[in-house]
Amino acid sequence: MGLVMGHMVVTACAGFIGSHLTDRLLADGHAVVGIDSFEDCYPRAMKEANLAGARANPAFTLHEANILDLAAEAAPGGPGPGEGAEGSALAALLRGSACVYHLAAQPGVRASWGSSFEVYARHNVLATQQLLEACGAAQVPKVIYASSSSVYGDQDELPLHENMVPRPRSPYGVTKLAGEHLCGLYHANRGLDTVALRFFTVYGPRQRPDMAFYKFISAMLEGREIVIYGDGAQTRDFTYVDDIVEGLVLAQSAPPGALMNLGGGNRVSLAEAIATLGEVMGVQPRLAVRPVEAGDVRDTWADVECARALIAYSPTWSLSAGLLAEVARFA
């Protein structure tokens, strides 16, 4: 199943999902080249800890660099990026790979407004375009792009399926949708084999500290109130990180140009999710309610029939089991 020749490339290999994917690919016997710029959106020590297992594996190579810097840098002995993408250090790094997983992005819905949008545009749009250029120049046989359920925005019906017209409600969602369109363009016009996967509310060990369950667990361990935005009746399709990683691996065999949801089948209200977390931890949650913030959608729920049909994707983790695993490894 999937691709077996050549090494795998993972951008954002030190991040939450990227580090889990890196570990899985190494466990499957692949050589992995990781790219990560160690941006300071959360402590570097957390990212270093994420990579501890991979660094101990001789089949793993880490390149600490920004994608845009690599795209602008001339490859050793090459003509230089001014002569085309094929001369860039990025293309040289990708050459010979079997698959490039592009997970690198500036995360966060609420932080994407205002002057910080320039950062999102660079990291999520321009970096994706430069990576696709380099993949084409390096003749990469497969590019798998990590998108987000944020592209859907608020829709009139549930569950959310890939044929819906995207209506993102945040600048972050706009940038992830732009990345999808770029993948489609490079597939249609340049013949690049791209696959885009829309992730739904991923959780599990190694979560970023700005993510909901990380904040909730921290607050409950420290006896603080959990801050929620809205009435708690908003719903999410929570997806455990191992199910996402399984989908990423299966996507190696997806047809060129495919676009698929990856969800967990655990659509519950925020209030229900917090109650489940309280049961897992044996703690009674205390809530502090704040107004809904700009960009937050009311409901998400993934229709995963497309992924089931194309790559045999079938999530297995329940919310309670996933939360138990996250709490057990919480640092």
Which residues form the catalytic set?
172
The Cα–Cα gap between 236 and 120 comes to 24
Phi, psi of 167 (to 5 degrees): -140, 65
User: DSSP per residue over 222-280, as a string?
Assistant: TTPPEEEES-S--EEE-EEHHHHHHHHHHGGGSPTT-EEEE--S-EEEHHHHHHHHHHH
Q: Residue 67 has which token pair?
A: 């994608």
What type of residue sits at position 310? Answer: L
Contacts of 322 (CB under 8 A, 6+ apart): 203, 204, 238, 240, 264, 266
The Cα–Cα gap between 166 and 38 comes to 31
By the 8 A CB rule, do 90 and 67 touch? yes
